[in-house]
Structure 1
Amino acid sequence: MLHIKTPKSMRAKRALEKREPKLVEFGKKTLILHGTKTSNVMNAVLTEIYHLKKDNAVKYSKRNDKVRPFEAGGETSLEFFSLKTDCSLFVFGSHSKKRPNNLVIGRTYDHHVYDLVEVGVENFKSMASYSYDKKIAPLIGSKPFFAFIGEGFENVEELKHLKEVLLDLFRGQVVENLNLAGLDRVYVCTAVSANKVLFTQCALRLKKSGTIVPKMELVEVGPSMDMVVRRHRLPDERLQKEAMKIATELTKKKEKNVTRNPIEGKLGKIFPPIQEFGNASLPFKPKGLKRERREAKAEAKANGEGKAKKQKQKEQEQDAAAV
Structure 2
Amino acid sequence: MSLSKPPVQSAQSRRAASKVASKLVENEKSLLVCSTASTTRDVREFLLNILQLCSPLSNKCPKPLQNPINDSSEILPVLIKQDTALFVHGSSTKKRPNNLVFGRKFDSQLIQQQEFELKNFLALEDVKSKKPMVNCKPAIVFLGDYFENNVEFIRLKSLFLDLFRGQTVKKIVDTGIQWTICISAVNNEIRVRSYVIDDLTNETMKSVQSPVHLTPMGFSFDLVMRRSFFDDKVYEKAMIHPKLDKDGKQVQEKQKNVEIDEFGRKFGTIHVDGADVNKLNLRKFKGLRKGGDDEGEEGYAENEEELMEFEEESDEDEKK
Same topology, TM > 0.5: yes
Q: 1:150 aligns with which of 144, 150, 154?
A: 144
* Count of paired positions: 243
Q: Does 1:177 align with 2:177?
A: no
- Which of the pair has more CA radius of gyration? 1
Residue 291 (structure 1) aligns with: none
Q: 1:118 aligns with which of 115, 120, 123?
A: 115
Instruction: Give distance in 1, aligned partners of 2:182 and 2:159.
Output: 15
Instruction: Give distance in 1, aligned partners of 2:96 and 2:173.
Output: 42
Residue 282 (structure 1) aligns with: none
Unaligned runs of 5+ in 2: 249-320
Instruction: Give distance in 2, aligned partners of 1:61 and 1:210.
Output: 51
Residue 235 (structure 2) aligns with: 240
Q: Does 1:190 align with 2:188?
A: no
Correspondences of 1:152-301 after superposition (within 5 Å):
152-191=146-185, 193-208=186-201, 209-210=205-206, 213-236=209-232, 238-249=233-244
Is the CA contact (8 Å cut-off) linking 1:23 and 1:250 kept in structure 2?
no
Could you tell which deviates more after superposition, 207-216 or 161-170?
207-216
Q: Does 1:79 align with 2:72?
A: no
Superposed displacement of residue 62, structure 1: 2.2
**Counterpart of 1:58 in 2: which secondary structure?**
strand
Q: 1:248 to 1:155 in 2, by over 3 A?
A: closer
Q: Which amino acid aligns with 1:217?
A: H
Identity score, percent: 30
CA deviation profile, 1:227-260 (whole Å, cap 9, x unmatched): 1111222322x222211111221699xxxxxxxx
Instruction: Give distance in 2, aligned partners of 1:157 and 1:243.
Output: 17
Is the CA contact (8 Å cut-off) linking 1:158 and 1:229 kept in structure 2?
no
Superposed displacement of residue 44, structure 1: 1.2
Superposed displacement of residue 49, structure 1: 0.9
Q: 1:243 to 1:63 in 2, by over 3 A?
A: same
Q: Which amino acid aligns with 1:90?
A: F
Residue 308 (structure 2) aligns with: none
Is the CA contact (8 Å cut-off) linking 2:69 and 2:101 kept in structure 1?
no
Q: Does 1:70 align with 2:105?
A: no
Per the normalisation by structure 1, the TM-score is: 0.69
Q: Which amino acid aligns with 1:207?
A: L
Unaligned runs of 5+ in 1: 253-323
**Counterpart of 2:25 in 1: which secondary structure?**
coil
Instruction: Give distance in 2, aligned partners of 1:157 and 1:245.
Output: 19
Superposed displacement of residue 36, structure 1: 4.7
Is the CA contact (8 Å cut-off) linking 1:156 and 1:194 kept in structure 2?
no
Is the CA contact (8 Å cut-off) linking 1:158 and 1:232 kept in structure 2?
no
CA deviation profile, 1:76-102 (whole Å, cap 9, x unmatched): 221101110000111111111111111
Q: 1:123 to 1:244 in 2, by over 3 A?
A: same
Could you tell which deviates more after superposition, 5-14 or 198-207?
5-14
Instruction: Give distance in 2, aligned partners of 1:100 and 1:148.
Output: 27
Is the CA contact (8 Å cut-off) linking 2:22 and 2:107 kept in structure 1?
no
Q: Which amino acid aligns with 1:112?
A: Q
Is the CA contact (8 Å cut-off) linking 1:158 and 1:195 kept in structure 2?
no
Residue 100 (structure 1) aligns with: 97
CA deviation profile, 1:102-141 (whole Å, cap 9, x unmatched): 1000110112110111111011111011012x3xx21121
Q: 1:19 to 1:214 in 2, by over 3 A?
A: same
Superposed displacement of residue 186, structure 1: 0.5
Q: Which amino acid aligns with 2:103?
A: G
Instruction: Give distance in 2, aligned partners of 1:164 and 1:34.
Output: 23
Residue 15 (structure 1) aligns with: 16
**Counterpart of 2:162 in 1: which secondary structure?**
helix
Could you tell which deviates more after superposition, 45-54 or 32-41?
32-41
Residue 51 (structure 2) aligns with: 50
Superposed displacement of residue 7, structure 1: 5.0
Per the normalisation by structure 2, the TM-score is: 0.69
Superposed displacement of residue 221, structure 1: 0.6
Instruction: Give distance in 2, aligned partners of 1:242 and 1:81.
Output: 22
**Counterpart of 2:49 in 1: which secondary structure?**
helix
Superposed displacement of residue 5, structure 1: 5.0
**Counterpart of 2:172 in 1: which secondary structure?**
coil
